[in-house]
Amino acid sequence: MYFKLLDSRSIIMKKEEVPQDESNLASANFREMVYAVDDDGKYTTSLSTGWDPKKIALDNAIKEIEERIANAKTRVLNNETSPIEYYMEVHKMDLPVLASYVGMWQWRVKRHFKPSIFKRLNQKTLKKYADVFDISVEQLKNIDAGES
Amino acid sequence: MPENLKIDFAHNQSAHCENGVVSNLMKHNGFNISEPMVFGIGSGLLFSYLPFLKVNYAPVFTYRSMPGLIFKKFAKRTGIKMKREKFKNPKLARQRLDQNLERNNPVGLQVGVYNLIYFPDEYRFHFNAHNMVVYGREGDRYLISDPVMEEVTSLTEKELEKVRFAKGAFAPKGHMYYPISFPDELELKSAIVKGIKQTARDMTAPVPIVGVKAMRWVAKNIRKWPKKLGPKKANHYLGQIVRMQEEIGTGGGGFRYIYAAFLQEASAILDNPKLMELSKDMTSIGDAWRDFAVDASRIYKNRNAASSGYDEVALQLEALAHREEQFFKSLKKAV
């Protein structure tokens, strides 16, 4: 049966085989705890600096976010969306998370993505967004102002 | 409250935050309970697929039960009473925290990860079900025992408020918790049996979104992804599975190794050699999950992979579903 075949190449996770691959964790001096068996088959814990398959998954997720940010930036510069969407991406948020932080309905936040609507927003609303993104209203209005 | 206040609290690193906080709080109160014990008694192990719910632009896959449930079930099954509080007002939340510290009582807190500045940047996502213990205060810094960290750390009053009042799904709302009463002796044996029974039942439940049925559903969808979503999105989804399986907190292999460690401990406590055998099986299942992660990562490493790779990992997942089904059926009979 096919699953028997797949099984045969499995190796038991042994303590000395806990992967110590290079990862984003290593740079932050961060080691995580994993469970593994020792020579007597007894469970114990061990610290790991990372594991390649995991690093690849995380790297891909980060690349994906970077692409989203770059894409949002282009659309702001082309006047297709407002800086709110750009900063939302910078902060790894999506619409539900941002709406929850500013305390508004999602449809309202989405409406503020429209450049024409964004231009007419009052100071109080702008300030709300700026506070959530931890920037000034000036930086919110002009996405290049924040990159010094 | 006085400027400096430090409760004598032993920080032990753990794989998973929720188990770790419970285990550390129990140890503080004189009960030597390991992380795997908390996880097993609290029926932490699971597999669930929620395709209609998107996080980080991908469906939700999870290898564990809902945040907070492990703790709740562990307390109920061992006969511990917990005090939990949530707050609307951050100031009140801080006052109540201070009061507890003054009473020499370390407390567990639910927090959001995005603003946890001591985490590596890449790990800071909008995930709101992280747990930590606060065990004191020095000046305006709170002393933090975060179980996934090797060492203790600290956060300013403002930083702590930010993570306690993070927004979005599972918003913590200042959630604070601590044990208030213990039985004379923990009812470990019956608690272990209850924990095992529920996990075995959930994993083999006739519901499409949980347990082995959910694994089969994911496998079925994986085969469709490359055509239906295109390679980019398909890879992103596959990456999300691997991340949920191997992310910090799982102890490796989607919590399967922690569960195997629990069965080993349970075997000794219940004097049940069958559980020792099953622990070995679970370790081998954990290894098969690791193989699955290796092969899945090969696919999304080269971004325009052929769809045959997807068929292969789908097959692996089905094999895993089959093994876990057999496993949990024997486990149910073993206790």
What string of DSSP letters covers B266-317?
Answer: HHHHHT-HHHHHHHHHHHHHHHHHHHHHHHHHHHHHSTT--THHHHHHHHHH
| A132 and A62 inside one domain | yes
The predicted model scores a pTM of 0.90
| Segment holding A102, helix H or strand E | helix A95-102
What is the predicted pLDDT for the residue at A17? 76
Query: Within an 8 Å CB–CB cutoff, is residue A100 touching chain B?
Result: yes
Same-domain check for residues A130 and A75: yes
C-alpha Rg value of chain A to the nearest Å: 23
The residue range of the domain holding B300 is: 188-334
State yes or no: pLDDT of A2 exceeds 60: no
Residues B165 and B263 both lie in one domain: no
Total of domains in chain A = 2
A127, pLDDT greater than 70 = yes
Same domain (yes/no): B15, B101: yes
Q: Could you tell me what percent of chain B has a pLDDT over 90?
A: 82
Q: Which of B181, B213, B233 is the last residue of a domain?
A: B181
What ipTM was assigned to the predicted interfaces of this complex? 0.86
pLDDT in tens, A25-63: 555 668 889 899 998 889 999 998 888 888 888 888 888
Kindly state whether A28 is in contact with chain B, defined as any CB-CB distance less than 8 angstroms: yes
pLDDT for position B301:
77
* Structural domain includes residue A2: no
pLDDT at A10: 38
Instruction: Map tokens 């085969």 to a residue.
Output: B223
| Closest by CA position to B243, among listed B118, B71, B125, B66 | B125
Query: Is the pLDDT reported for residue B102 higher than 60?
Result: yes
Please judge whether A35 and B243 are an interchain contact, meaning their C-beta atoms are less than 8 angstroms apart.
no
Please provide the average confidence, as pLDDT, over all residues in chain B.
Answer: 93
**Residue A5 confidence (pLDDT):** 31
- Say if residue A144's pLDDT is above 70: yes
Q: What is the dihedral of CA B163, B169, B171, B176, to 10 degrees?
A: -100
Q: Which of B85-99, B114-128, B303-317 has the lowest mean pLDDT?
A: B303-317
Residue A95 maps to a domain: yes
- Give the span between the Cα atoms of B61 and A138, in whole angstroms: 40
- The alpha carbon of residue B231 is apart from the nearest alpha carbon of chain A, in Å, by 13
Residue given tokens 């055998």 in the structure block:
B277
Q: Tally Cβ neighbours within 10 Å of residue B27.
A: 15
Residues A132 and A86 in one domain: yes
Instruction: Note whether residue A147 is domain-resident.
Output: no
Could you tell me if B311 and B208 lie in one domain? yes
Q: Give a yes or no: residue B131 inside a domain.
A: yes
CATH number at residue A129: 1.10.260
Shared domain for A67 and A127, answered yes or no, is yes
Q: What is the pLDDT of residue B76?
A: 95
Please check whether residue B51 lies inside any domain of the structure. Answer: no
Give the pLDDT score at B92: 97
Q: Are residues B112 and B194 in the same domain?
A: no
Quote the pLDDT of residue B75: 95
Judgement on whether residues A83 and A111 belong to the same structural domain of the protein: yes
Candidate from A132-146, B80-94, B153-167 with smallest mean pLDDT:
A132-146
Look up the domain containing A32 and give its range: 12-50
B144 lies in the same domain as B212: no
B91 and B220 together in one domain = no
Please say which residue of B138, B156, B181 terminates a domain: B181
B104 close to B146: Cβ distance less than 8 angstroms: no
Nearest CA in chain B to A6: B316
The span from the CA of A125 to the CA of A81, in Å, is 17
Q: Is the pLDDT of residue A148 over 80?
A: no
Give the model's pLDDT for residue A18. Answer: 79
Does some domain include residue B43? Answer: no
Q: Which of B123, B169, B323 sits opposite A3 (nearest CB)?
A: B323
Contacts A51 to B, Cβ<8 Å: 246
Does any domain span residue B97?
A: yes
